[in-house]
Structure 1
Amino acid sequence: MPAQLSLGPADDDMWQQYDHLATRSFGHPLADIASLRPHADLRVATRNGTVVAGGLGLLIPQYFGGSPLPSACLGAGCVAPEERGEHLAATLMSERLRALQDQGAVTASIWTAANGYARHLGFEAPMTTMAWSVTPDDLKRSFTADDYDVAFGLTPAAVRLQQDLAHRWHGPLQRPHWWPHWSIRRHSLSVYRFSRPGRPPTGVLGFAMTQSEQHDIHLAVHDFWTADQDTASAMLAFLGRQHRAALVEFRRNALPPSPLLLHNLHRYRPSARAWHPWMLRILSIPKAVQLRGWPPHLDLSIPIEVTDSSAGTTHTYLLHIQAGSAEIRPTSRAAQVSFTGRQFAVWFAGGYRSATTAHLSGVRCTSPQALDAIIRSTTDREPWLPDQF
């Protein structure tokens, strides 16, 4: 009979064991484990003092509606190969989320290729995640950089710009003070600032050089933050001048969900690759709705139903939004719009761009007008999470 499983926070020895376990589970070392230790919460499962599963959690604010919500950002979850098949990952996930909820998290985000597993745990993807590849020559022929200064290195002004741009979307992290330099070290990034002469920066570009199996140089873009189309054009023109690179690759979700390439390339021949998506879960519906930002012109009260299929529970709420604030409280009124917990997360992140897309995704309603109104309440911004963890 196997020894009883224990769950909890990791001590020094368990951190070391988890590092070795992650290498064995993923098939390669994870440099993040050592570098994130000062900032991360590590929960592990042990048998007889041996770590058999573990996962990191970062408590980082995540923007929704322009407001930063405390979020559980989960990464590097792994289970020993000999322990798989016993639902240990789900058990450990509950422990990881509980610990971060105790610290204030109201939402949770994860990047995982195991989408079915994540959905079983209440997560859903608010958007399609794409990576793009284009040749420098195509960028050079299609974009110009008139009257822009380009400077190397990250400055406080560039960090402030990234934060200002992040709150314009649903999903980006409010990066903590240690994040930019950690990311630069982690990926060996070169960071450039773009600005009009004598003006503050309006663009931040971060990329790394990699070598393909054929020894071609590929330029991998990790950060692409732009305040407007003119700055974006200058940044893309700069990439087009990097003649050492055979290919410019925008890593998953590095490009914002804007038709920059579609509307501007002289010859449209980029390559697109779908990646496993960012997935979101709402840990506390009342707190998340209260803390989230809302459009100031909205004034609506709609009874909604949210079903948590994993817990087998259904709750009916009255959602009230007015003057940029919202609250959600239990009600006995009949629901006009019915969500599953996963559908609620997609709506919360602005993933349904119309009532039609919500309907095709299975959101039910007794009032088409109520469905249209509630969908429009989160479409003031689009979902985008370019941060990798």
Structure 2
Amino acid sequence: MTLEFEYSTLANLEDVKRFGKILEQCFIGTPADENVYINKIGVENFRVLHQQGQVVGGLAHLPMAQWWGNQKVPMTGIAAVGVAPEYRGTGAAITLMRQTVQELYAKDVPISVLFPATQRLYRKAGYEQGGAFCSWEIPAKSIQLTEQPLPVVAVPFELELFNDIYQQQAKLNNGNLDRYKAIWQRIIEPDEKEATYTYAIGSADYPQGYIIFSQHSTEDDAILRVKDWVVLTAAAARTFWSFMSNHRSQIDKVRWRGSTVDALTLLLPEQTAKLKFTNYWMLRVLNVVKALEKRGYPPGVEAELHLEIQDDLLVENNGKFILYVANGHGEVTSGGKGELQLDIRGLAPLYTGLFTPLQLQLAGKLDATETALFAATQIFTGTSPWMPDFF
């Protein structure tokens, strides 16, 4: 069954209440939880579908940016995608996503990112795996790094200061966010069952990182959960571990979020840190030209890549493009030989560097000449894409 739907903003209090009930049921929450969430994100950032005047589903837009090649690319995160159970299977969810993609394109947003509950739905709207969201765990007693090169000082959280420190690290890691305000709030605001502790690494005039964490007791273990962290120097990295080790008399395990290949683990004496889980977020290139021109590239690379792209939803992205890269920047023109052919979904993991061009070709996600594969490998090389934030 396919119904006719109307896509719009949240227009009135009754619609807000109705969508709050849908979210409550979709995400096993409470009315209070969903009201707080809607207010934090901002009512103006929600979109809903109506069917005969009734709200049947909706989602949230999170306007922010993402770091790619040391450059911030404007990005809209998609969150809280929910459809009332009685309207599932009617085409509501894919209608919601396609309308969102078209709206964001009309607003000149280059890329969009989301965390999928199911990949099939979002692939129909042009999204594909873009990067990793990982949690690591280590027994506190196995850290065994006691030297602390820098001071660690308990400090009150100041958004401007902490965001400045965070951005210095984020710009070096492909996929890290220029965070939306609600993401910062989730990090620093404790729930009723936890306390959050905030420490600065280094001196007040030269901060070299920070640690924000909470502590939890389970039936079996005491867990120190690092909610957010930054280390900007080798000394800060060693200090991070010595500070974690100092909790070993009361804490059994330390958990933190990092990349699938996390440089922090290289400092450990043994391979006792293990990935607890790995999920992949999905990215959609909304505007081919803007997405390719706004990201950064390796500064020593000068190369030309001839692309041919197919996008079944946004016809403006269809056709042949030439990407010319030099001095860390890219310029896109129409035309060319179309030596690397792919659809908009295949472009996502190429753009992010989650997989190499050769891997994508072997997976059937692109078809390219040897020359184009070499150029694409040079152009899209970089750190493995990841982010520590879930939305």
Corresponding position of 1:239: 244
Match in the other structure for 1:226: 231
Q: What secondary structure does 1:125 align onto?
A: strand
Does the CA-based 8 Å contact 2:168-2:232 persist in structure 1?
no
Change (3 A) 1:265 1:347: same
TM-score, normalising length from structure 1? 0.87
CA–CA separation in structure 2 for the residues paired with 1:5 and 1:234: 55
Deviation, 1:355, is 4.4
The aligned runs of 1:49-64 (5 Å cut-off) are 49-64=53-68
1:203 paired with 2:205, answer no
Residues 42-81 of structure 1 mapped to structure 2, 5 A cutoff:
42-81=46-85
**Structure-2-length-normalised TM-score:** 0.87
Give the partner amino acid of 2:25. Answer: R
Q: 1 CA distance for matches of 2:17 and 2:43?
A: 16
Cα deviation, 1:182-202, whole Å, max 9, x if unaligned, reads 53116663222111x464211
Residue pair 2:297, 2:379 contacting (<8 A) in 1 also: yes
Q: CA deviation at 1:178?
A: 6.4
Structure 2 residues without counterparts, runs of 5 or longer: none
Residue type of the partner of 2:326?
Q
2:87 and 2:348 map into 1 onto residues whose CA distance is 31
Are 2:299 and 1:296 aligned? yes
Residue 28 of structure 1 aligns with which residue?
A: 29
Post-superposition offset of 1:245: 2.6
- Equivalences for 1:243-258 in 2 at 5 Å? 243-250=249-256, 254-258=257-261
Deviations 1:219-277 (A, max 9, x none): 22221221133312211221222243322122xxx224444465333342334233331
Q: How does 1:77-226 map to 2 (within 5 A)?
A: 77-139=81-143, 141-142=144-145, 144-155=147-158, 156-176=160-180, 179-185=183-189, 189-195=196-202, 197=203, 199-212=205-218, 214=219, 216-226=221-231
Residue correspondences, number? 381
Task: Work out the CA distance in 1 between the residues paired with 2:26 and 2:150.
Answer: 50
Amino acid at match of 1:228: T
CA distance in 2, matches of 1:241, 1:349: 37
| Partner amino acid, structure 2, of 1:190 | Y
The 2-side partners of 1:276 and 1:186 are apart by 24
User: Contact 2:115/2:280 (CA < 8 Å) preserved in 1?
Assistant: yes
Check the 8 A contact 2:132/2:259 in 1, yes or no: no
Give how far 1:53 is off: 0.6
Q: Distance in 2 between matches of 1:2 and 1:299?
A: 49
Q: Corresponding residue for 1:368?
A: 370
Letter in 2 for 1:336: E
CA distance in 2 between partners of 1:149 and 1:131 (Å): 24
Find the aligned partners of 2:3 and 2:347 in 1 and give their Cα distance: 39
Cα deviation, residue 205, structure 1: 1.6
| Distance of aligned partners of 1:349 and 1:186 in 2 relative to their CA distance in 1, 3 Å threshold | farther
Q: State the SS of the aligned residue for 2:332.
A: strand
| Deviation readout 1:68-115 (Å, 9 max, x if unpaired) | 222110111111111111221111112233334444421000012312
One-letter identity of the residue aligned with 1:382: S
Question: Where do 5+ consecutive residues of structure 1 fail to align?
Answer: none
